Amino acid sequence: MKKTNKHTPTKAVVKTATTPPPYAYLFGIFLFGFLLYANTITHDYVLDDPIITIENKFVQRGFGGLADIFSHGYLYGFNGSNDQSYRPLVLANMAIEKQLFGNNPSIHHLFNVLIYALSGVFLFLFLRQIFKQKNIWLPLAITLLFVAHPIHTEVVANIKGRDELLSFMFAVLSLYALMRHVYTRNALWLYGSVVFYFLCVLSKETGLAVLGLVPFTLYFFTKIELKTILSRTALFLLMAAVYFFIRSLAMDNMTFEADMHVINNSLMGAASVSERLASTLAILGRYLQLLIFPHPLSYDYSYNQIPLTGWGHWRTLTALALYVGLAVVAVIGLRRKSPVAYGIIWFVVMLLLVANLHPKLMVGATMAERFVFSSALGFCIVLAHLLHHYLKPLETFASAKTFLVIIGIITTLYSIKTISRNTVWKNGETLYLSGLKTAPNSARAHNHIGSYLLKKAEATQDPNLRHQLFTQAIPHFDNALKILPNYTEAGYNKGVCYYSTGQTEKARNAYLQALVHNPNNTNVLNNLGVIYFNENNYDKALEYWLRIFAIDKNNVNALGNIGAIYQKKGELEKALTYYEQAIQIGANRNVLNNAIKAYRQLGLEEKASALERLR
CA angle 514, 56, 118 (to 5 degrees): 120
Measured CA to CA, the distance from residue 436 to residue 446 in angstroms comes to 7
What per-residue confidence (pLDDT) applies to 261? 86
Measured CA to CA, the distance from residue 382 to residue 344 in angstroms comes to 7
The answer, yes or no, to whether the previous bond of 9 is cis (omega within 30 of 0) is: no
**The CATH number of the domain covering residues in 519-615:** 1.25.40.10
What per-residue confidence (pLDDT) applies to 13? 47
Amino acid identity for residue 405 in this structure: V
Measured CA to CA, the distance from residue 365 to residue 279 in angstroms comes to 13
The domains of the chain are located at: 23-54+103-422, 55-102, 519-615
Residue 399 phi, psi (nearest 5):
-70, -35
| pTM of the predicted model over 0.85 | yes
Question: Which residues in the chain come in under a pLDDT of 50?
Answer: 1-10, 12-14, 16-18, 257-258
Residues with Cβ within 8 Å of 142's Cβ and at least 6 positions away in sequence, in order, are: 123, 127, 377, 380, 381, 384, 385
CA angle 374, 379, 381 (to 5 degrees): 100
Quickly count: other Cβ atoms within 10 Å of residue 331's Cβ. Answer: 11
Measured CA to CA, the distance from residue 20 to residue 136 in angstroms comes to 10
Measured CA to CA, the distance from residue 505 to residue 383 in angstroms comes to 60
pLDDT in tens, 459-506: 999 999 999 999 999 999 999 999 999 999 999 999 999 999 999 999
What per-residue confidence (pLDDT) applies to 469? 98
Residues with Cβ within 8 Å of 608's Cβ and at least 6 positions away in sequence, in order, are: 596, 599, 600
CA angle 516, 522, 526 (to 5 degrees): 100
CA angle 218, 222, 223 (to 5 degrees): 115
58 near 91, Cβ under 8 Å? yes
The answer, yes or no, to whether the previous bond of 493 is cis (omega within 30 of 0) is: no
What per-residue confidence (pLDDT) applies to 11? 52
